[in-house]
Amino acid sequence: MSTNTFIQILHLLAPLVALATMAASHAVLCRLRPDAPILNLLVVGGFAGLGGLFAMQLLALAYGQKLGGALLAVMLVDGPVYACLAYGYANFVNLGHASVRIRIYRELLDSPEGIRISELQGRYDEAGMLNTRLRRMLDAEDLTFDGAAYRLKKRRLLTISTVIFRLKRAVLGRQSEFNP
């Protein structure tokens, strides 16, 4: 393998190695500090990923001294690529919170007169959110309710939710950022 090919492979892998470093660091931190805010642990994991990116860049630099400007150009691309990957990872981890925020933004957009805090609390308290979600699932005919118990009717979202829960469990050490 030529030096140029090796350096190209390093640069292709650098953002992925940085993302893997971020995810691994975040997963370890979530297990070591389960009560710490998720955002704080994401930031620390993000900096660990930057360390991984920097290490890959140093490795590429050590092998690519003679490439000059081309090496610098590729190095400048790896940072933004890692930033995009890290942003996607952070949003994956924060999916539960983000979905509620997006729903609130949408409701506020549709209500130019505003929404009273008591209304928001009524909609987004834990019991209210559960009832709203169950009603939506019944309306979509994903569930049935016989007066005593809910039963699964359609499995269309089950595969997606299973994948997300497994990934979150692998990263956070628990199924949800809401449950310790």
Within 8 A by CB and 6+ apart from 77, the residues are 11
Report yes or no: 129 and 99 within 8 Å, Cβ to Cβ.
no
Higher pLDDT, 70 or 21: 21
What is the DSSP secondary structure assignment for residue 173, as one 8-state letter?
S
Query: pLDDT tens digits, residue range 97-140?
Result: 667 777 777 777 888 788 887 777 777 776 666 677 777 778 87
Whole-prediction pTM value?
0.59
Query: Tens digit of pLDDT for each residue in 16-45?
Result: 999 999 999 999 998 898 888 878 889 999
pLDDT in tens, 140-171: 787 788 887 778 777 766 677 677 777 777 77
Pairing relationship of beta strands 150-152 and 143-145 according to DSSP bridges: antiparallel
84/74: higher pLDDT: 84
- Do 34 and 173 touch, CB atoms closer than 8 A? yes
Higher-confidence residue of 179 and 55: namely: 55
- At residue 23, the pLDDT reads 94
> Residue 164 carries which side chain, given as an amino acid letter?
I
Neighbours of 80 (CB within 10 A): 10
Query: Is 60 exceeded by the pLDDT of residue 49?
Result: yes
Q: What is the pLDDT of residue 116?
A: 81
